[in-house]
Structure 1
Amino acid sequence: MKRQHAIKPTADSHRQWSVMLPTLSPAIRDWVSSDGLIWLHLLKTATAGLLALGIAMLLDLQQPRIAMTTVFVLMQPFSGMVLAKSFYRILGTVVGTIAALVLGALFVQQPELYMLGMIGWVSACIAAAVRYRHFRWYGLVLAGYTAVLIGIPNVMVPHDLFLAALTRAAEVAVGIVCSSAVSALIVPQRSSLALRRALHIRYTNITAFAADVLGRGIERGEFERRFANLVDEIVGFEATRTFAAFEDPAMRSRSQHLGRLNGEFMDVCTRLHALHQLLKRLRLGGPSRIVDAITPYFHELSGLLGATQDTNTDASRVAAGLRLFQASLPRRVRETRRPLEAAPAESLADFDTAAELLYRFVDEWIRYSETYVSLARRKPEAERRTTGRYVSKTNGFAVAFTFARSAAVMAIVSWFWIATDWPSGGMAVIGAALACALTSTAPNASKMAVQMAVGTVLATMTGYLFTCYVYPNVDGFPLLGAMLAPVLALGAFIASRKLLAGYGIGFSVFFCLLAGPDNVVTYAPDLLINNGIAITASLLLAAIVFAVVFPADMPWLIERIEGDLRAQVVSACMDELPGLNQRFQSSIHDLASQLRMLLTRRSRHRRDALRWMLVTLEVGHAMIDLRNEVARAGYAPALHSRWSSSLVRTCDDLARLFKRPDARALERSLVSVRSATWVAQDVLATVHADRDKRHDLQRILSCLHFIRTALLDKDAPFKAR
């Protein structure tokens, strides 16, 4: 189960409740749209858990508590999230069941070989889950620990394995159906509504951010922090879009439209970063004449963006205002440039590059705004252009590291169980598998495992009270449900808190697993305590291994993910152009998000990783722009003998620089960019009389100049290596 996020009230949820209860006072309405949503989630979770327990008991299944446990593993605030996880849980459960049966058939009464096969299977599933992530993570994790839940209790009694597998599958199915039905039918909180609200907030935030960057400039630390938050939004948007597709046919039919919107948002963010970097360099070392000449345009653009911040986001009005600004911009820039033509070539290149970036930023913002507006229409406009799909990449070493970490934890626990014949050793193995699975994508796996261990201790103590004092004194399911409801709701509440999620997960899952009622309740508090100790010990062992033996922020692992990040510039220089921009940007943001999860907040490694991400995004995107412009200038090779060779050398040297950054590679890249600039200037002088060709060469020169300034930036991480 991925760590759940805090339940955030949305304007869409408020409207749902307002329609249902139009006579409520403003104070009650405010409560309904904030704390009321939390209570609603707790009510639905407890209801689904008790419903699953009751149905499993009615069907006389062997362990109804497994059905209740399933609900707590599945339940999320939004129905689309539950439906997505339920779908993949079914697939994972089927595959895990088959794996348990196959392993049981291959290694009959051979516990050492059986455990070796089980460790390999579970570790492979968890590693694959880390590789594919998002909603697919859940199905792969389920395929691993479902096999453990079925196979471990029956490792020495293989004749019971087939019946146990069928029974467990039925119990899990009951939990899936109940959680999905309650979430989707009882006051459903739609992921699609949350997605629309997120798009609204994102548009407002990027508008305010752009107005600040263009208008007054912001400090490097603040820019990096706010830009990193935008990266997280890009990655989170893809997961939410997937969840929404499970519950809303309209969102499913507009999947390409939403993908294009996210791609255009990435374009806007990247261009805004490029503008920020250029403005910073001009203000720090550029000629005052150039700065004074270009600054009014940025202030005017900032005013256009900032004027709508206090309204309800009239994005169409923003786009209309920017279209007027865009229409007059070329003429005004030419008039501003004429008095500067006597300035040094380097200064004039600064002005031309700033103007070109401004053109591109305005054009991309207009496209983004129009796509955002068209999303609200019943029939969105036809696709203007084909965009590649969002690409998520996980480093192969990170996947192998996850496999080794999970195998090590499970191997230690399994060896101890077999060597000592510990009666509760099987439960310890189950706890170890769950710890490895549930923490596989956690930002701090060791911390989460410790939280789960504390939650397990509380679950064991609560289970002891229920076993000794509650279950013997209740008669009938209604009274049993009344006694369980507060405990179940408490676990769900803690699990919904972002900083306390581990405690809630450990408490909810292991209370149900250890002390959940069955049709025939076994009053064995000693067994309960022994099993609780076994699970707690396995969780603490996992925490130690995660922190000491396999820490996620190991320098060699971070360096390899950073290597993958820098390798995207190699792709920008070498890969085929169709769809390259979308692949490049989505890969960059996805890898940067992984690094932010692995690295401790406010650490030097985290800052270095973010700066590598920024310079990679900056240079790689400029290279894609350069290659697109060169492709349009097909006439240039005939005008200069060194045209093609100079550009190929530039691409090769930049690729080598980002592959193995050092001072020598940096110097070689600067020489190549300068040589390509001289060649482009010669071609520009040749075609100066042709307006269209002149503009082509000016855009190419702007790209080359921007790449050179990025390589020379004193804040770039090249010189730190």
Structure 2
Amino acid sequence: MSTRDSIQDWLATDGLAWLHLAKTLFAAFIAMGIAMRFELPQPRVAMTTTFVLMQPFAGMVLAKSVYRFAGTALGMLAALVLGAVFVQQTELYVLALTAWVAACIALAVRHRQFRWYGFVLAGYTAALIGIPAVTDPNGLLIATLSRGAEVMLGIVCSSVVSALVFPRHASATLAQTLARRQARFASFAADVLRGRLSRIARERRFADFVDEIVGFEATRGFAAYESPAMRSGHRGLAGLNSAFMDACARLHALDQSMKRASIARDALAPFLEELARIFEHDALDVHLREYKATLATRLDFTTSAELLYRFVDDTLRYVSISIGEPSNERMASRYEAKTSRFVIAATFVRTGIVIAATAWFWIVTAWPSGGHAVIGATLACGLSSASARPSKFIAQMTMGAAIAIVTGYLFLCHVYPAIDGFTLLCAMLAPPLAAGAFLAMRPASAGYGIGFCVFFCLLAAPDNRIVYDPDLLLNNGLAIIVAMLAAAIACAVVVPPRTQWLVGRTLAQLRAMAALACEGKLAGLGERFHSGTHDLMSQLRGLLVRRSREHRHALSWMLVTLEVGQAMIDLRHEARTLNVQRFPDALRIAWSTSFARVLRDIAVLFRQPDSGTLRRAISSVVASIIVAESMLDEGHDVRRVLAYLHVVRSALVDPDAPFDARHR
């Protein structure tokens, strides 16, 4: 490799990380300098904002800034209202503030991605402003305005630096991601059609697609902030991701049908091989159109043939949208993220216990640094709420905070007194802050980096008027460490996210998506079903150990939910277009009754899976198949209905399905 190629490779990999690091420090020092020039009380708050806010892409920073601005404004308002209602009533004020913070963090868990941070800021800002007001209620208004100005300054500096200094745009990365995803899907589809992959390998590849689907939604969300073109194409990208979810579900259903019926695989072998070669061809869209045009005339619409046709149809829709062709179909509805209400309630309870216990100890002991302990507990609960392992994340933050206290002590005693001038100040602050920001960029060490940067800025960063009081620094730091350790213990003991009961509730909500396919309104049902199922599985993948028995069990439920749920949606669409008026009255009544039983019993099965509900669901489907077979001479659309009924029946009787008690 030549020197030029090596440089380009470095710029495309490690160079981007160093660029992000330099931009983060630049934004932090600009925010600190402006805050000092305007003589704001605590420039450190502006610095802290930039470290929390900076992201690799301009759209990520702008999206985060919007929600941070809204969350900060809401937190300021809450601090003022609670301070006015509970003036000079310390216990009631702290209790109300605890309830507010716990509610905000619980809502952050419900509304994830960048909306998560808006709710976290609404709670944290109220605590940051309101806790000092417990001992000084007369300074509440001034503290609110000052803190708001400092936070807004950090937001502006982060946004300007990210957008103007060597900006990186998520839209370019999004295009590359889509190209790689389409290539991986085409290769995977060819392997599945040829039967080259084992069951475990197929399941893992489908699970990887879950992460890609959820990650794409996050990227699509903040890319819309970068340019008018991305905002105008926002719904098109949503349709693209929806089409990809449909194609993945169709591929899985086709694969299961081939696995369960060897005769069908042998009969369709020439068509499967032809389609596999098409997926290996560069002009995928052209060849898929030709293949689809001749497929209907070459195949009788048995179950497997119908699934093959629908897979080709959905894949062609996905490829067409990806190359920018206009679609005649209604655009996809909004991606719906799902969070179990039990997870939200557990987060509220856990956060409330931690903050209330810390605040109670502060009040009854008149601890001088107790206010910092409450703020530390609030930060720990808020910043860890998005983690699947909050106790581990808080432990990392605690270690980072401990290192920040030691570093801050050295700066306060030896560095600040020996330097003069803003330039030299920035030069001395750059090495430790760069080290913390570097750690924060890596998922495995993010807790250490965030803990160091946030608490170094809050405890030891310079203000316009530096107070050289090492004892105060150590006392406040010790209070924060104690509070965070208590928060880590609470997160490990009080209904932790990975507890079996809570994971079971999330899994139950995933299964309930099949019930939604049976009972929900048909308009936009496919998009709601797929987005909810994939989002819940993404949460379970974060909670469970990869390749463990529990993870594979959850993945089995996701795949059978996708298979049966998609078949039920297709069945409902076909039944809706079925002209039942041409049937005799007895046959029409028998079909309506049996179909209603199928919808009811499938929904009950996925809500309460056991041997009894499984037998009833199988009986209902078989009864509907018998009725549908008696209508076969009445038209082609009946064969489609019968095909989807066979898909559901084969999924229910599959010995590898998780319905059986031995698998649960």
RMSD: 1.6
Structure-2 residue corresponding to 1:700: 641
Answer yes or no: is 1:436 the counterpart of 2:381: yes
Distance 1:220 1:304 in 2: 23
Answer yes or no: is 1:560 the counterpart of 2:505: yes
Shift of 1:555: 2.3
Shift of 1:279: 2.1
Give the AA of the match of 1:35: D
Structure-1 residue corresponding to 2:619: 671
Shift of 1:525: 1.3
Give the TM-score, by structure 1 length. Answer: 0.89
Structure-1 residue corresponding to 2:550: 605
Structure 2 contact 389–498 (Cα < 8 Å) conserved: no
Shift of 1:154: 2.3
Shift of 1:534: 1.3
Structure-2 residue corresponding to 1:217: 196
Question: Size of the alignment, in residue pairs?
Answer: 658
Shift of 1:353: 1.2
From 637, 657, 660, the equivalent of 1:716 is: 657
Secondary structure of the residue that 1:247 maps to in structure 2?
Answer: coil
Structure-2 residue corresponding to 1:528: 473
Structure 1 contact 109–158 (Cα < 8 Å) conserved: yes
Distance 2:113 2:344 in 1: 15
Structure-2 residue corresponding to 1:452: 397
CA 1:24–1:384 in structure 2 vs 1: closer, same or farther (change >3 Å)? farther
Structure-2 residue corresponding to 1:624: 569
Deviates most, 192-201 or 42-51 = 192-201
Structure-1 residue corresponding to 2:323: 373
Structure 2 contact 235–331 (Cα < 8 Å) conserved: no
Give the AA of the match of 2:392: K
Shift of 1:600: 2.9
Give the AA of the match of 1:588: T
From 293, 305, 309, the equivalent of 1:359 is: 309
CA 1:621–1:474 in structure 2 vs 1: closer, same or farther (change >3 Å)? same
Structure 2 contact 321–327 (Cα < 8 Å) conserved: no
Structure-2 residue corresponding to 1:103: 82
Structure-2 residue corresponding to 1:339: none
Answer yes or no: is 1:681 the counterpart of 2:629: yes
| Residues 503-534 of structure 1 deviation map (CA, whole Å, 9 limit, x = unaligned) | 11101111111110001111111211121111
Structure-1 residue corresponding to 2:298: 332
Structure-2 residue corresponding to 1:659: 607
Distance 2:331 2:74 in 1: 36
Structure-1 residue corresponding to 2:47: 68
Give the AA of the match of 2:309: Y
Structure 1 contact 210–302 (Cα < 8 Å) conserved: yes
Shift of 1:383: 5.2
From 502, 515, 518, the equivalent of 1:573 is: 518
Give the AA of the match of 2:640: R
From 267, 274, 278, the equivalent of 1:304 is: 278
| Residues 46-78 of structure 1 deviation map (CA, whole Å, 9 limit, x = unaligned) | 000001000000000111111000001101111
Shift of 1:328: 2.5
Secondary structure of the residue that 1:268 maps to in structure 2?
Answer: helix
Distance 1:604 1:191 in 2: 36
Shift of 1:134: 1.8
Shift of 1:297: 1.9
Structure 2 contact 511–606 (Cα < 8 Å) conserved: yes
Distance 2:582 2:32 in 1: 75
Structure-2 residue corresponding to 1:4: none
Shift of 1:605: 2.4
| Residues 109-142 of structure 1 deviation map (CA, whole Å, 9 limit, x = unaligned) | 3221111011000000111111111221111111
Give the AA of the match of 1:367: R
Structure 1 contact 109–157 (Cα < 8 Å) conserved: no
Distance 1:638 1:570 in 2: 29
Distance 1:388 1:27 in 2: 44
Structure 2 contact 495–502 (Cα < 8 Å) conserved: no
Q: Within 5 Å, give how 1:142-221 maps onto structure 2.
A: 142-221=121-200
Shift of 1:220: 2.0
| Residues 3-24 of structure 1 deviation map (CA, whole Å, 9 limit, x = unaligned) | xxxxxxxxxxxxxxxxxxxx99
Structure 1 contact 104–161 (Cα < 8 Å) conserved: yes
Answer yes or no: is 1:241 the counterpart of 2:191: no
Structure 2 contact 236–331 (Cα < 8 Å) conserved: no
Structure 1 contact 257–383 (Cα < 8 Å) conserved: no
Give the AA of the match of 1:330: A
Answer yes or no: is 1:59 the counterpart of 2:22: no
| Residues 214-257 of structure 1 deviation map (CA, whole Å, 9 limit, x = unaligned) | 12332222222211111111112111111011112111011111
Distance 2:506 2:58 in 1: 34
Structure-2 residue corresponding to 1:228: 207
| Residues 411-458 of structure 1 deviation map (CA, whole Å, 9 limit, x = unaligned) | 111111112221111111001000110011112111100010010011
Distance 1:550 1:655 in 2: 29
Shift of 1:598: 2.2
Distance 2:65 2:56 in 1: 14
Give the AA of the match of 2:598: T
Structure 1 contact 643–680 (Cα < 8 Å) conserved: yes
Distance 1:29 1:580 in 2: 46
Structure-1 residue corresponding to 2:286: 320
Structure 1 contact 62–518 (Cα < 8 Å) conserved: yes
Structure 2 contact 225–231 (Cα < 8 Å) conserved: yes
Give the TM-score, by structure 2 length. Answer: 0.97
Secondary structure of the residue that 1:661 maps to in structure 2?
Answer: coil
Shift of 1:382: 5.7
Give the AA of the match of 2:289: R
Structure-2 residue corresponding to 1:253: 232
Give the AA of the match of 1:306: E
| Residues 571-603 of structure 1 deviation map (CA, whole Å, 9 limit, x = unaligned) | 211222121111111111111112222223333
Shift of 1:637: 6.5
Structure 1 contact 217–276 (Cα < 8 Å) conserved: no
Structure-2 residue corresponding to 1:348: none
Give the AA of the match of 1:204: A
Q: Within 5 Å, give how 1:376-415 maps onto structure 2.
A: 381=326, 384-415=329-360
Answer yes or no: is 1:90 the counterpart of 2:40: no
Shift of 1:563: 2.0
Structure-1 residue corresponding to 2:267: 293
Give the AA of the match of 1:363: D
Distance 1:629 1:550 in 2: 44
Structure-2 residue corresponding to 1:337: none
Shift of 1:386: 3.5
Secondary structure of the residue that 2:609 maps to in structure 1?
Answer: coil
Give the AA of the match of 2:404: A
From 16, 21, 26, the equivalent of 2:5 is: 26
Structure-2 residue corresponding to 1:507: 452
Unaligned runs of 5+ in 2: none
| Residues 333-366 of structure 1 deviation map (CA, whole Å, 9 limit, x = unaligned) | 35xxxxxxxxxxxxxxxx9211111101111111
From 408, 431, 434, the equivalent of 1:489 is: 434
Give the AA of the match of 2:386: T
Structure 1 contact 570–654 (Cα < 8 Å) conserved: yes
Distance 1:26 1:221 in 2: 39
Structure 2 contact 76–125 (Cα < 8 Å) conserved: yes
Deviates most, 504-513 or 536-545 = 536-545
Structure 1 contact 127–402 (Cα < 8 Å) conserved: yes
Give the AA of the match of 2:647: F
